[in-house]
Amino acid sequence: MSIGKRRSIAIAAGVALAGGLGAVALTAATAGTASAAANTCGYLFDDFNYSSPADSTLTGHGWVPRTYAGGPGVPGATWSANSITFPTSGGQKVMQLTASTDGTGGGTNQAELYTAQKRYFEGTYASRVRFTDTPQSGADGDHINETFFTISPLNGDLDPTYSELDISEYLPNGGWGETGPINYQTTWYTYRNEPWLADNVHSEQRRSFDGWHDLVVTVANGHVIYYIDGVQLGDHTGKFYPRQTMTINWNLWFIDTAAHSGGLSTYIQQVDWVLYAKNQVLTPAQATGQAGAYRSAGNAFTDTVDSAGPCVTPTGSATPSNPGSPSPSRSPSVSPTVSTPPATSCTAAPEWSISATYTTGQTAKHEKSKYGDPNGPASGEGKHLWRAKWWTQGSEPGWTANWEDLGHC
């Protein structure tokens, strides 16, 4: 994640714990065969069969090893492309992140790999990740954070369109005032750096996750549902539902050096593969089965996210895990991109406002942005009339499931 401070203060935030959670049905595609999947709404799959961070195929496939300075983590730490490597584990190439610290900012190295393009929104995200409880070398005890997440830029303090899904943040030795091991899934509405203010909801598991795990999240119908190894752990809904497209990221970083006990300590995290199914709700078994189908077919990389289609907003059922959270009604998905009769009430509808709140049935007119950023360029598609499916604020019409397209104005 990109946020250095974390949960010290949170507003309108809760803890969504597992228990009595509903299942999600597969929609929009049939998982299990790579050839069938490639012809549906679009997939990204990568099993990280690269030689080094300098491999031109790595960047050609849209991945960026981080080299720029800044948070999160220890001030003055280095982010190096050389902290991303591709060793063999269990007979397969894996992507490995390596982070080390000697207890000083100048002696701390952190690692991150992310997608160059911010183009991932609703659908299913899955990755097979190896978390580690102890360092590869050196003394144990550091507040290391092992992650898999999606994120959008923060356009100013408390940006209401900010979107971040921390699919897992694993702290084997604790941190942020918590003892370890502890694992978080966090869905963000927004935050402010100074003075720190966080607006999010999270689920947590207080146990070890040392070893390989299948991490899955589905984003559809106003619900963000998290799984590890097929077990549902959280259902986050309401205003925390993402409002724009995001990048896909992994990073390995130190929350602080307060627990460092001397010498150089080196930690690793490994990633076997990643899968993104655009506008499709897959069960964890279907997601891992699809990844296995690509690998069995000898397909080390595929990307049809932009080329496949046409696609619609994902459908399916989802039961909220926290009855106290706002629960959107089950509404039909947004229609496929086809000819739509012109709306008849654009004149009376107000312009959509990023700060306004809308309840079920309220309408607004708006031209969607080109890249899912309301502050960025317009799409060029002209204004449409939109109807809110449920309570919403800060979610841009045309980019989220919160709005139904009633047609061109």
Residue-level pLDDT at 309: 65
Give the integer Cα–Cα distance in Å for 226 and 236.
Answer: 8
Q: Which domain holds residue 396?
A: 334-409
User: Is the separation of the CB atoms in 50 and 93 below 8 Å?
Assistant: yes
Q: How many domains is the chain built from?
A: 2
- Taking Cα atoms as reference points, which of 200, 146, 202 lies closest to residue 173? 146
Domain of 369: which CATH number? 2.10.10
Q: Which helix (H) or strand (E) holds 270?
A: strand 265-278
The residue among 281, 303, 325 that closes a domain is 303
pLDDT tens digits, 314-370 = 444 333 333 233 322 222 222 233 333 334 589 889 999 887 878 888 999 999 887
Joined tokens for residue 107: 């002696």
pTM for this entry: 0.75
Looking at the structure, tell me whether residues 242 and 201 fall in a common domain. yes
Looking at the structure, tell me whether residues 79 and 128 fall in a common domain. yes
Mean predicted lDDT score pLDDT of the chain: 84
Does residue 110 lie in a domain region?
yes
Poorest-confidence range of 16-30, 32-46, 196-210, 395-409?
16-30
Q: Is the pLDDT of residue 143 over 60?
A: yes
Give residues with Cβ within 8 angstroms of 17, minimum separation 6.
203, 204, 234, 321, 322
pLDDT tens digits, 89-124 = 999 999 999 999 999 999 999 999 999 999 999 999
pLDDT tens digits, 244-258 = 999 999 999 999 999
Give the integer Cα–Cα distance in Å for 362 and 317.
Answer: 23
Does residue 322 lie in a domain region?
no
Does residue 19 lie in a domain region?
no
Looking at the structure, tell me whether residues 298 and 354 fall in a common domain. no
Does residue 3 lie in a domain region?
no
Domain of 70: which CATH number? 2.60.120.200
Which 3 state secondary structure label does DSSP give 56?
Answer: helix
pLDDT tens digits, 268-320 = 999 999 999 999 999 999 999 999 999 999 999 999 999 876 565 444 433 33
Does residue 317 lie in a domain region?
no
Poorest-confidence range of 43-57, 131-145, 311-325?
311-325
Joined tokens for residue 293: 């189908």
Looking at the structure, tell me whether residues 136 and 259 fall in a common domain. yes
Give the integer Cα–Cα distance in Å for 372 and 152.
Answer: 10
Looking at the structure, tell me whether residues 233 and 347 fall in a common domain. no
